[in-house]
Amino acid sequence: MEVIKIEGGRPLKGTVRIDSAKNSTVALIPAAILADSSVILEGVPQIVDVEHLGMMIEQLNGKYEIDNDELTIDPTHLINTPLVEGAVNKLRASYYFMGALLGKFKEAVIGMPGGCYLGPRPIDLHLKGFEALGATITQEAGSIHLKAEKLTGAKIYLDFASVGATINIMLAAVKAEGMTVIENAAKEPEIIDLANLLNGMGANIKGAGTGEIRIQGVTELHGTRHAIIPDRIEAGTYITLAAVAGDEVKIDNIIPHHLEALIAKLREMGVDIEVHTDHVIVRGRKEMKAVDFKTSTYPGLATDLQQPLVTLLTQATGVGMVTDTIYSDRFKNCFELNKMGANIKVQGNSAIVQGPSKLSGARVKATDLRAGASLVIAGLIADGVTEIGNTYHIDRGYSNIEDKLNNIGAKVWREDVTE
């Protein structure tokens, strides 16, 4: 079993360059199969989820080639084969092939998606959108079968501003006949990034980034070249760890506007953050006061940053509460942090953190992707050595994490150990 080990207590100083957005990339890759010629994505992060999506493209007889951080997807000879086992079960974003294949072939057979378990994550809004466009849906042996004689534009209201449902409906609707209107659409930057790619391919999408997205269907989509936006969640993670473990850390290649909610809250705690056009400078390791955090849809505080913020609160003076309004089961990291000396109580969809706590190195496990990030931050500030198991969760969303941390003064390495 591979583990990440961290020797804590080293002050961090230097520059971290943020990669392109994981949550954009995992939608852009399925979107590329809607084209009739090659799509080139610039700045693809080196994460495991990208590898799994590549396997699915190849299952569909598409060509998938990475040169450094440039990905070329050639869907010229794509065939519509069921995606019911293998990589489809290893990441949540595999469900974007539902919308993409339905939009391209008017039919899709997809196994249930995998990824981190964060409590109930139903896809009923996705299916409701597909049905509104004219698809019939059946479920057999753990797979979902979508089929339509034709797809016709419709007005679709989402009961919740779901990022996944908004993206999937966009993928299915982009070649549907007539106009599709998505009301109460998600506003996240990744939605805008997807719309920019699809419009570059010849789509007609307006309103991305607002609560109403209007899609005029087109008959053909062509290849294009697209640069992926920076990863606001990776940026937020490094900003958080710099606040608690850094002397002075520059977080480079970011869009600060995407992180306004986080930056405002950290400043409220007493963190010194200097904002520039494409980077921030964080001067951390100062006394912080506890505050309350509540996640919400964009432009609110991202649920993906909730777990790193719990670790941050363990070092603040006072009692702070973190409430996750998006995912109910995103607090398993709290039990691991308590093993290290934290004082955290979980009540429903909230964690109550009493700080500051002196953390000590321990053997812990990443229960999901962002829980892994939370434990990495804890390891950086703990006395002694922290050993983190289930590293595959971390590798799903953070590329070269040990190199990036070691370059700013941390001591992080990997080992194979017996369980």
User: For residue 90, what pLDDT band results from cuts at 50, 70 and 90?
Assistant: low
pLDDT band at 419 (very low <50, low <70, confident <90, very high): low
**Using 50, 70 and 90 to split pLDDT, how confident is the model at 418?**
confident
For 344-389, the pLDDT digits (tens) are: 999 999 999 999 999 999 999 999 999 999 999 999 999 999 999 9
- What is the structure's pLDDT at 332? 93
**Domains of the chain, with CATH numbers?**
2-19+230-416 (3.65.10.10), 22-227 (3.65.10.10)
Task: Return the amino acid letter for 271.
Answer: V
pLDDT tens across 186-227, in order?
999 999 999 999 999 999 999 999 999 999 999 999 999 999
3-state secondary structure of 190: helix
365 annotated as a binding-site residue: no
- Beta carbons of 28 and 193 less than 8 angstroms apart: yes
Tell whether 49 is in a known binding site.
Answer: no
Write the burial class of residue 381 (CB in 10 Å: 0-12 exposed, 13-18 middle, 19+ buried): buried
**Mean pLDDT (whole number) for 251-276:** 97
- What does pTM read for this prediction? 0.94
SS3 category, 379: helix
Looking at residue 260, what DSSP letter applies?
Answer: H
Report the DSSP beta bridge partners of residue 383: 360
The answer to whether 193 is a known ligand-binding residue is no
116 is catalytic: yes
Q: Is 123 annotated as a binding residue?
A: yes
> Cα(96)–Cα(191) distance, rounded to whole angstroms?
13
DSSP string, 75-119: -TT-----B-SGGGGS-GGGGHHHHHHHHHHSEEEEEPP-S---S
Q: Catalytic: which of 21, 109, 116, 158?
A: 116
Residues 331 and 116: their CA atoms lie apart, in Å, by 12
Q: Say whether 229 counts as a known binding-site residue.
A: no
C-alpha–C-alpha distance, residues 158 and 297, integer Å: 13
